[in-house]
Structure 1
Amino acid sequence: MDVLKGWVDGAPLLVLGVVVLLLLVAGLAVGIWVRRRHDSDDRRAPRDDDGQEGYVVSAVLGLLALLLGFTFALAVDRFETRRALVLQEANAIGTAYLRTQLLPQPHRERISALLIDYTANRVALGESSAAEQPQMLATNNRIVTDLWTATAAGFQSVKGLDFSSAYIDSMNTLIDLDTSRKAARTVRVPTEVFIVLVVYLTVTSGVLGYVFSGPRGRAAAVFMLGLLWMSMLLIVDIDRPTRGGIRESQLPMQWTLQTLKTTPPATYDRWLPPEAASAASPGTSPAAAAGTRSAR
């Protein structure tokens, strides 16, 4: 069972889709074969045309729709969580960057550069393939460590100011969201749910192959199974955050990265006198004090 679960988790979507399609075709062929055997059995009593087979098909398809809907809801819920975390992290990075501008040099320049590197790596990580992610995650963890080290060093220069706690909170939020996004990418629909769904799809294809007879009936069965097959592949694609065609949009992070790159620390010194801008000290600058109030 563990081997099967590992294969299902790691198999490419195309390979998994082909395997499921082959199972559906096999189930349909078995159903057609069983029906032909029954129809050619002279000892079998004449088939009653009382709608019993219709009830069976309705019940089977109804339960299958319930399973598909349940699995789809689980996958979409996890997808929406990952997408919401992207926006939250983008906002947290922007807040931390603005509050960093209230620090004196060299902490201000150093932490601002680290935040830009961190954001660029997060954007690349969100768009990377599974093979590229281990190296990018290692880079991400290194930058997080550097960020907190630089924050601890810069805190000594502002610990007596009112905004110091808010600044630490913004960095804590950024680091917490880093962990939240990592965890969200590992939480997926249980593999057992997909295995049961595939088994039920195969059984359903056998039932359809048995009940639907004639060219038109079998064409309808194939069409219905094709729709069910595409529905399952859509669920699998949504549930895979690092592979496939459906991923959470990185647009909020890209916007934040563009803003950070186009507004370097010197941008926030334009209203300061030259001597105050060179020092960029929140303890002596009225503009920095105003920035402290706006960053809270």
Structure 2
Amino acid sequence: MEFVAVALISTTLLCLGMAGSIETGYRMGKRRLEKYPESKSEGIGAVESSIFGILGLILAFTFTGTLSRYESRTQLVLKEANAIGTAYLRLDLLPKNDRDKLRSLYKEYLQSRINLFENYENRQLSDSYFRQGLKLQAQIWEIANASVLLGKNPGIMTLVLSSTNEMIDVANERLQATRTHPPIIVYILLFILALASAFLVGESMSANQRRPLLYMAIFCVTISAITYVIIDLEFPRLGLIKIHWGDKVLVETLENMK
């Protein structure tokens, strides 16, 4: 829940900052109108359109990229389940002693993968399961490689080793997926553009006798809420929007292992 707290605090501060920017823009606009009541705001519309357009593009591209990575991570869970299931079935091609050893190791390996992501918020515990998985990968590869070399059957060698290699590759893909995020500068730029847009909104509203508080609140809350969803989707193992339901396929694969 630490991540959720940080994300909520950050977006709440953004909302309050935007409210402050609107107020600042409103007051500065009022002062300008009082000092130069007949002055024209030539060019301001073009600046506003540019800033709002850039903010919209940043929000759209960031949200689209985040959603794409979220879906990709979900698909990787299914891909890993299929890879492990296929490799497990091909163990039938090996001698009984090696087959029994590997079946036990596969079950232990799959359980470690499930535990890794179920306890992802506990970094120390999840790291221990990750290291356990690496050790099991090495054991599985060593036994499988020795078994197929002993049998000297090219077809079995290709089927068993290729599926084992695929299983290991998918695990690496999932690891890389957890590390792939937009550069921090993107979020900094998003926050700056949101504050700048809020200032321009306030300046535009300065022609009104009273502050349109409802519209101000809608603008601030909308931008802040979208920003929170982007951040939350980017870290689906830590935020409110969970990806844990996707791990069900791994649990079902483990249950189907005989």
Q: Same fold (TM over 0.5)?
A: yes
What is the alpha-carbon distance in structure 2 between the residues aligned to residue 57 and residue 217 of structure 1?
18
What is the alpha-carbon distance in structure 2 between the residues aligned to residue 55 and residue 84 of structure 1?
43
What is the alpha-carbon distance in structure 2 between the residues aligned to residue 215 and residue 163 of structure 1?
80
Larger radius of gyration: 1
The structure with more helix, counted as a fraction of residues: 2
What is the alpha-carbon distance in structure 1 between the residues aligned to residue 64 and residue 185 of structure 2?
16
Cα drift, residue 196 of structure 1: 0.7
1:168-213 C-alpha deviation (Å, 9 max, x unpaired): 1111111111111111111111111111111111212222233235
Asked if structure 2 preserves the Cα contact closer than 8 Å seen for 1:155 and 1:164, the reply is: yes
Tell me the amino acid that sits aligned with residue 194 of structure 1: Y
Aligned residue among 67, 70, 78 for 1:76: 67
* Shift in alpha-carbon separation, 1:168–1:19, aligned structure 2, 3 A: closer
The count of corresponding residues between Structure 1 and Structure 2 is 250
Aligned residue among 148, 168, 180 for 1:175: 168
What is the alpha-carbon distance in structure 2 between the residues aligned to residue 156 and residue 129 of structure 1?
38
What is the alpha-carbon distance in structure 1 between the residues aligned to residue 105 and residue 172 of structure 2?
18
Asked if structure 2 preserves the Cα contact closer than 8 Å seen for 1:144 and 1:175, the reply is: yes
RCO comparison, higher one (Cα < 8 Å, 6+)? 2
Tell me the amino acid that sits aligned with residue 36 of structure 2: R
Pairs within 5 Å for 1:134-153 = 134-153=127-146
Aligned residue among 11, 25, 36 for 1:44: 36
Compute the TM-score of the two structures, normalised by the length of structure 2.
0.85
Aligned residue among 71, 85, 93 for 2:76: 85
* Shift in alpha-carbon separation, 1:206–1:20, aligned structure 2, 3 A: farther
Asked if structure 2 preserves the Cα contact closer than 8 Å seen for 1:128 and 1:242, the reply is: no
Stretches of structure 2 lacking an aligned partner (at least 5 in a row)? none
Stretches of structure 1 lacking an aligned partner (at least 5 in a row)? 1-10, 265-296
Asked if structure 1 preserves the Cα contact closer than 8 Å seen for 2:15 and 2:221, the reply is: no
Asked if structure 2 preserves the Cα contact closer than 8 Å seen for 1:92 and 1:174, the reply is: yes
What is the alpha-carbon distance in structure 2 between the residues aligned to residue 193 and residue 252 of structure 1?
34
| 1:243 maps onto 2:234 in alignment | no
Identity of aligned residues (%): 25
2:5 aligned residue: 14
